[in-house]
């Protein structure tokens, strides 16, 4: 099976949703993906974050595929990443 962009976009990623305040003290919502520690998408409402995070995910995955980066899939994820292999 070829692991292309469509393959990765259809995986069952572990979403972490949260809320925080911006620099002006206004609330915003974010979505992180547990398996991709560098990924975060922010929006003014949680509904907009849920509706639009996949666009940024597609761009992130496309770059990772083009660069030959390791993409840790949900079934392969360990709770604590191997930081020595991720941060040379």
What confidence score (pLDDT) does residue 82 get?
A: 63
Query: Which of 1-10, 24-33, 53-62, 73-82 is predicted least confidently?
Result: 73-82
DSSP structure class, residue 44: S
Overall average pLDDT of the 71-87 stretch? 72
27 in Cβ contact with 19 (< 8 Å): yes
Q: pLDDT band for position 7 (50/70/90)?
A: very high
- For 49, the 3-state DSSP assignment is helix
- Side-by-side strand order, sheet with 27-33: 15-21, 27-33, 36-43
End-to-end CA, the chain:
30
Q: pLDDT band for position 75 (50/70/90)?
A: confident
pLDDT digits (tens, 9 = 90+) for 10-60: 999 999 999 999 999 999 999 999 999 889 999 999 999 999 999 999 999
Q: Report the alpha-carbon angle 86-75-49, nearest 5.
A: 80
């Amino acid at each position: 099976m070829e692991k292309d962009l469509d393959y990765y976009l259809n995986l069952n990623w572990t979403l972490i949703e949260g809320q925080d305040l911006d620099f002006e003290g206004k609330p915003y919502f974010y979505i992180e993906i547990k398996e991709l520690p560098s990924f975060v998408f922010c929006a003014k409402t949680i509904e907009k974050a849920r509706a639009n995070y996949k666009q940024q995910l597609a761009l992130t995955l496309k770059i990772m595929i083009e660069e030959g980066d390791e993409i840790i899939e949900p079934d392969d994820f360990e709770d604590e990443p191997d930081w020595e292999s991720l941060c040379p």
